[in-house]
Structure 1
Amino acid sequence: MLSHSATRAVHDHESNVWDDQIRACAATGGVIGINGVGIFLGDNDTSTDAFIRHIDHAVDLVGWEHVGLGLDHCFAADDLNSELTRNPDLFPPSYDQWDRIEFIEPERLPTIATALAERAYSPESIRGILGENFLRVAQTVWR
């Protein structure tokens, strides 16, 4: 499982994963959770389109059954941005170029689902991407 990564082919950031890593994950039944942090999506861009570009690439590469959401929204953005200011040495240099790091909030999930539907993703694939694919992996691992 790649719990919260973006695709390096779409945006070349050291935290993002290469296509061969995504293929290897999918080959074992795993899922890549697309990260919702702007600096990983591209130029601190948290637009729905920027996020969907990474989803589309991963789906084109390995199929929707191996793609999910890994928004990485586990803390307040203000807390992270304060930590970056207080302790810049704890973070890679690529974090320094932004005054503030942006995130996709969980409240945007309906907008993301609508955008996927508008791109002709099936209801089944949207449910998978929104969580059922990770559920499948969890059920397999926890047996």
Structure 2
Amino acid sequence: MERHIEGLSKDAYRKMIVIDGKGFLRQRGRYVGKGGVLTDTYLEDVRASGLTAISTTVGGSSAFEVTAAFMSRIDEAIASRPDALMKIETGADIDEAKQSRRLGVIYDTQGTHELDGKVERVAELARLGVRVFQLTYNRAALAGDGCVEGRNAGISDFGREVIEAIEAQHCLLDLSHAGRRTTTEAIAASKRPCAITHAGCNAVTPHPRNVDDAEIRALAEKGGIFGIYFMTYLRASGQSVRDDVIAHIEHAIDIAGEDHVTIGTDGDIDSLVLDKAFREYWRVEVCEPRVRAGIAAPNEGPDIFNYVPEYNVPDRLRLFGDDLIKRGHKLSRVEKILGGNLHRIYRDVFA
């Protein structure tokens, strides 16, 4: 595409509903709700981000009681700063967050471990505020196989019951981290629009965490949405950069259409500071435990970080939108990708 001189102005960006479909409430990598206290500096970054809402993980790898306790602590953190944050439970809440200039926080799970094998836990978690349920996380689970599980067995009978329960609770089914057969079968089993909130395109970069064109197309045909992450899996090796994100987003638009593509960075709001303390934390508390648990994927490591250097600022989505417009994408398309499409899906599904 030809590059335009004018990009995305700060004023136009401020008027948009901007949503990160998969991010985290973390300060310097530390989770809010796990001992982290919201600081004024962090909330300044939240405001500077221009985000209307962010979907943050509250469960998926722990038992129900542990997940519920963690959610309670996040509830308390949000309640402690009602001037800056609000919990999102309906699509209309996102409009309120925008109007009140607060960050809307959507609770999601990355997996179904917290269900403890009981499908009725879906309703209990929905009552506590979970609005997005991810079916699997990388390895085999009761609901189905994840993307690094070699057998690729698809969804189980329990998984089908979970999908029905998720939809009955007017929550969003998320197929990120799912195996290929699991993804295909879950899309077919769903009766409402579902999502892959954070992934890449396998046709651009072959990787277990990336998704084939056929699955992206089937998701869109079901009314769903496909989110591109700012992760290391956007390239075969080394640190992902701006051009990788753009290549994946443009391919996704070609396959799914502009009404079915969004961003789920799988990252934090604040800037990543690669100092000695963070590097040690990343190696000891993130990389090594993932290897021990068997959930690590190719192109992970202690010297590869989940960020895109050119977008390492709180308002990274404004810079990304600016790059898209300079490549010839219309403002209306950029508005959809940066949050309009997710806003539509949330309003439809959460109703």
CA distance, structure 2, for counterparts of residue 88 and residue 75 of structure 1: 26
Alignment of 1:67-82 (within 5 A): 67-74=261-268, 78=278, 79-82=281-284
Question: Relative to structure 2, which stretch is displaced further, 87-96 or 56-65?
Answer: 87-96
Q: 1:89 aligns with which of 260, 280, 292?
A: 292
Q: Which amino acid aligns with 1:60?
A: D
CA distance, structure 2, for counterparts of residue 141 and residue 60 of structure 1: 25
- For the pair 1:20 / 2:224, whether they are aligned, the reply is no
- 1:45, distance to aligned residue in structure 2 (A): 3.4
CA contact (8 A) 1:6 1:16 kept: yes
Q: 2:239 aligns with which of 41, 45, 48?
A: 45
- For the pair 1:99 / 2:99, whether they are aligned, the reply is no
CA distance, structure 2, for counterparts of residue 96 and residue 34 of structure 1: 17
- 1:89, distance to aligned residue in structure 2 (A): 2.0
More helix by share: 1
CA distance, structure 1, for counterparts of residue 340 and residue 291 of structure 2: 37
The 1:108/1:56 distance shift into structure 2, 3 A limit, reads same
**Equivalent pairs, count:** 142
CA distance, structure 2, for counterparts of residue 87 and residue 56 of structure 1: 31
CA distance, structure 1, for counterparts of residue 346 and residue 328 of structure 2: 27
Question: Relative to structure 2, which stretch is displaced further, 129-138 or 74-83?
Answer: 74-83
Aligned to 1:137: 345
CA distance, structure 2, for counterparts of residue 14 and residue 75 of structure 1: 26
- 1:93, distance to aligned residue in structure 2 (A): 5.3
- 1:119, distance to aligned residue in structure 2 (A): 1.5
- 1:98, distance to aligned residue in structure 2 (A): 5.7
- 1:74, distance to aligned residue in structure 2 (A): 4.6
Aligned to 1:3: 197
The 1:19/1:122 distance shift into structure 2, 3 A limit, reads same
- 1:49, distance to aligned residue in structure 2 (A): 1.1
CA distance, structure 1, for counterparts of residue 196 and residue 289 of structure 2: 29
Structure 1 vs Structure 2: percent identity of aligned residues? 28
SS at match of 1:135: helix
Q: Which amino acid aligns with 1:49?
A: D
CA distance, structure 1, for counterparts of residue 297 and residue 264 of structure 2: 23
SS at match of 1:6: strand
Q: Which amino acid aligns with 2:341?
A: N
CA distance, structure 1, for counterparts of residue 300 and residue 242 of structure 2: 24
CA contact (8 A) 2:219 2:226 kept: yes
| Larger RCO of the pair (alpha carbons < 8 Å, separation 6+) | 1
RMSD over aligned Cα atoms: 2.2
The 1:75/1:125 distance shift into structure 2, 3 A limit, reads closer
CA distance, structure 2, for counterparts of residue 68 and residue 93 of structure 1: 23
CA distance, structure 2, for counterparts of residue 102 and residue 109 of structure 1: 15
- 1:37, distance to aligned residue in structure 2 (A): 0.7
The 1:133/1:126 distance shift into structure 2, 3 A limit, reads same
SS at match of 1:115: helix
CA contact (8 A) 1:48 1:111 kept: no
SS at match of 2:202: coil
TM-score normalised according to structure 1 size:
0.87
Aligned to 1:123: 331
Q: Which amino acid aligns with 2:234?
A: L
> Can you give the 5+ residue segments of structure 2 that lack an aligned partner in the other structure?
1-194, 273-277
- 1:35, distance to aligned residue in structure 2 (A): 1.0
TM-score normalised according to structure 2 size:
0.38
CA distance, structure 1, for counterparts of residue 255 and residue 303 of structure 2: 34
More strand by share: 2
CA distance, structure 1, for counterparts of residue 238 and residue 315 of structure 2: 19
